[in-house]
A and B are shown apart, each in its own frame.
Chain A
Amino acid sequence: MQTGSILGVAVAVLLGGGPTPPDQFVLVDALHTHDLETKGFSYFPLNADVPDNWKAPLNFYEGQIRIRLEVISKPSDKPVNLQLCVFQDRHSADKHS
């Protein structure tokens, strides 16, 4: 079992539009087990605080994203990387907008 390994983070953020007063919000906060059902790709529902507009009235688009990953348990010493993707398909039928 490996504990607390964070070997890499890659972030891709592509965004869309609505105001929100607080200057930060939680995008994901989950205790999650990746298994043979999810394999490499796990999807998470959006929190209620995620704004529709990431550019106004506050500019999250050019802000920062703070990530914390705690690997609680995994079955070997193989190093792992994590990629977080935030994307939307609503305005583009055949590719991420």
Chain B
Amino acid sequence: MDTMLVIKDKDGKPVDDRFGFGGKWDGSPDFSLYYPMTVRFTAVVVAKGAAYNPGAVHWRMGDLHWKDVKELRGVIPAWQRGQVGSVLAAAEKEEDPTKAEEARKIAEGVKAWAAKRRKEIEDRKLSLPDWAPGALARLGALLSPAPLGKEYLAESKEWEKDPVVQASRKAKALWDSVRDALRKVKGKGKASDPAFAAQFAAELRRIAQVAGRLRKEFPDTPAAMDALAAAGALGLSLPE
């Protein structure tokens, strides 16, 4: 069995140039209208007659599942409701030696799962600076009242204040402001071609200005690197 997600345009045509779809979707062949597109996608299958439980998305965390719990059965109701922080807090506080081994396994498993989620977010901290701090805060809230939840919440606030994140945010907004201009010229020619340069003079000037600002004001941000690559491909000279 396989699971596949298909991205389609407004008319339901797959945004792809394979399998005969090239030229059929809105905006074809300009993939920059759609990609890169980052999504969080969740699908839960519910048996006939059963009521959907929003907490089911957390029934499995890594190798852990509430149905496998043998000793620490007190955590199962919270786990079934998706209250991950309550499960972790209870496992960390367990003092009954007959339950200690399972409690340790659950605590370590939830923490490993949380660390993986945190890493997913951190990996996008600079490329998606408007999203990442809030995503970490939501993970922190999910893990509360366990200490790890508070730790992530505090870290999300630090991310919000982080000058590197703020610079990435400003750089991304600046680069986004010329995306329409970039789309008009990308892959269509070089600034060294007089006819191309004349036809798209306004767009090329604006892109060069923004790329120059990004290089100067926000170096090393993902947006600046995208801008410099685009400017290079267009053969643009950037203002100092």
Contact = CB atoms under 8 A, between A and B. Distances in A.
Contact of B44 (A30, A36, A42, A65): A65
A69 B17 CA distance: 24
A41 B14 contact: yes
A92 to B, nearest CB: 12
A46 B42 contact: no
Interface of B, helix, strand, loop or mixed by DSSP: mixed
Given A27-B43, A65-B46, A73-B128, 13 more contacts: A24-B46, A27-B3, A28-B43, A29-B42, A29-B57, A32-B38, A39-B35, A41-B4, A64-B45, A65-B45, A66-B44, A85-B2, A85-B6
Contacts of B183: 76
Contacts of B40: 30-32, 68-70, 72
A75 B32 contact: yes
Given A29-B57, A40-B21, A50-B1, A72 B12 contact: no
Contact of B2 (A49, A68, A87): A87
Contacts of A22: 56, 59, 67
Interface of B: 1-10, 12, 14-18, 21, 26-27, 31-50, 52-53, 56-57, 59-60, 65, 67, 120-121, 128, 130-131, 172, 176, 179, 183
Contacts, number: 251
Contacts of A63: 45-50
Contact of B8 (A24, A54, A83, A86): A83
Given A10-B12, A46-B1, A82 B6 contact: yes
B4 A80 contact: no
A36 B5 CA distance: 15
Contacts of A24: 44-47, 50, 52-53, 56, 59
